Amino acid sequence: MNRKTEIISAAIEVFAEIGYYRATTAQVAKRAEISQPYIFRFFSTKEALLLAALEVSWTRVIDFFRKVVESASPEQLENDLIRAYDDMLNSYRNKILLQMQAQTIQEDSIREAMRNGVREVRRMVLDAFRAAGIPNPEERCCATFRQS
């Protein structure tokens, strides 16, 4: 793992545990076992670090769902996605907590990153539902994510 990746991983943990607003780059640095100024060699601001953390988080979530979409039979797609979401909550707890907390942040760049992540997951699931011939795919797509 390279230093930038280590910093992002530490940021995901710290932001998920104590929240973006309460977290400091000093806490992220301590978790990553580096000096605080070293963070700023990679990220100009704490917000830039959060955006990188969200990108990693959304990439992981999207990849997780993509594997289900590509491997599930049409008859099992909806149930497999619900099960996968439950598994993801356990496997990627900090990444999901980070996303949940980011929903409350008002900065435009953060809101845009969250909209893009949700849009990508929804598009992928909706396309998979349509390809599988699931009736009322728009309604089912949204319902799938509310059941968990």
Task: Please write the tens of the pLDDT for every residue from 33-89.
Answer: 999 999 999 999 999 999 999 999 999 999 999 999 999 999 999 899 989 888 988
Taking residues 3-15, what's their average pLDDT? 96
CB atoms within 10 A of CB 57: 24
Does residue 146 carry a pLDDT above 60?
A: no
Comparing 138 with 32, the larger pLDDT belongs to 32
What DSSP assignment string belongs to 46-113? HHHHHHHHHHHHHHHHHHHHHHHHHHS-TTTHHHHHHHHHHHHHHHTHHHHHHHHHHTT---HHHHHH
Q: In this structure, what DSSP letter does residue 136 have?
A: S
Predicted confidence band at 144 (pLDDT cuts at 50, 70, 90)?
Answer: low
Do residues 125 and 72 lie in contact, with contact meaning Cβ atoms separated by under 8 Å? no
